[in-house]
Amino acid sequence: EEWQNMGAVGQRKITQWTRYVTIGIAILQSTGLAYLFHNGGGGLTNGNTTGIDLIPDFTVSRVMLIVLTLTTGTALLMWMGELVTQRGIGNGMSLLIFASVVSLLPSQMATIKANGGWVAVAMVLAGYALITVAIVYVEQGQRRIPVQFAKRVVGRRQYGGQSTYIPLKVNQSGVIPIIFASSVLYLPQLLSFVLPTDGWGKTVQDWVNSNLVNPSAPIHMIIFGLLIIGFAYFYTAITFDPVKQADQLRKQGGFIPGIRPGPQTERYLAKVLSRITLPGALFIAAVALVPSFILTAYLPGTQVSFTGISILIAVGVALETMKQIDSQLMMRNYEGFLK
């Protein structure tokens, strides 16, 4: 918060530390992936259920080369995202993730056609369309808190007296809770492959793969849903501070009708925000869990790659990019295309 108040200098510090943290996480994940490939978790099998060791020459130098390569690729993507943000429209990293997510759709449809035919493809596409409509409806939904500004007389002129509102989105946190929850659930899988491949280590790996990694497992669904709800409240508390908002209103001479400025305004904003965050968190949890569960139940054996999470990310990024394009058009005295 202190860096945010420092302006451009603080923003550079935030960007710099974001890079450091990203590289650190990339090193940890790259190391975990190296062990994952070595222990047969790369997705290739020898005809049985046993995975193929993709790194038979598992030496320190080979692991360091893999970690360096994957970390360098992460740094390159981060640099490309920053360039798109600075010189293009929209958030660069979000657009890269959007492109990655949308590219999975053709292969997903081909897999569904192979397992269920064209009828299954039509039903899945219709389901995706309904989910998209629901996501757009919820993403655009907001609770408008009315605000009035006191009248001030300076000389012979009168200032203030206008009425406006504070828009509180139903889904204030966006897709961030899903990304955080997925990362937390992915961490035990990476750590389990560092354990021995026999004995108690094999027991832990089997339990993690069958309960935490399997999307249709009840334990996975419960933990994933609770993590999404928890991170939704956590991220909402970071992005919207009722104390800061109430103090800003008081300094500008604004007030919420029927609510006293100061502590009462803080409590009122916190109460309203808490009430609208819960349905938003439950909605994104349902979008993340239900489509994958239905596909797994009705098309067993189908590897689901384009899920409700993918639709939520794609729609969220598309809406945000459209808003930025519309604002750029309005700034240049053109008529916007969003109504």
Q: Indicate the pLDDT class of residue 56, thresholds 50, 70 and 90.
A: confident
| Domains, in order of start, for the chain | 1-88 (no CATH), 102-331 (1.10.3370.10)
Cα-Cα-Cα-Cα dihedral of 61, 66, 70, 72, to 10°?
Answer: 30
43 pLDDT more than 60: no
Identity of the amino acid at 251 = K
Q: CB within 8 A of 48, min separation 6: which ones?
A: none
Mapping DSSP to helix (H, G, I), strand (E, B) and coil, where does residue 31 land? helix
The DSSP element (H or E) to which 321 belongs, if any, is helix 308-331
Q: Indicate the pLDDT class of residue 41, thresholds 50, 70 and 90.
A: low
70 pLDDT more than 80: yes
- Check residue 192 and give its pLDDT: 75
- Check residue 304 and give its pLDDT: 67
339 pLDDT more than 60: no
CA distance 215 to 223: 11
Mapping DSSP to helix (H, G, I), strand (E, B) and coil, where does residue 57 land? coil
- Check residue 211 and give its pLDDT: 81
87-95, Cβ contacts within 8 angstroms, sequence gap of 24 or more: 89/321, 89/324, 89/325, 89/328, 90/317, 90/320, 90/321, 90/324, 90/325, 91/317, 91/320, 94/317, 94/320, 94/321, 95/317, 95/321
- Stretch 174-201: mean pLDDT, rounded? 79
Of 143, 101, 154, 152, the residue nearest 307 (C-alpha): 101
Across 123-132, 205-214, 231-240, 269-278, least confident range? 205-214
Q: CB within 8 A of 242, min separation 6: which ones?
A: 265, 266, 267, 269, 270, 273
Which DSSP string corresponds to 151-191? -EEETTEEE---EEEEEEETTTTTTHHHHHHHHHHHHHHHH
- Check residue 67 and give its pLDDT: 92
Are 101 and 315 contacting, i.e. CB atoms less than 8 angstroms apart? no
- Tell which wins on pLDDT, 300 or 287: 287
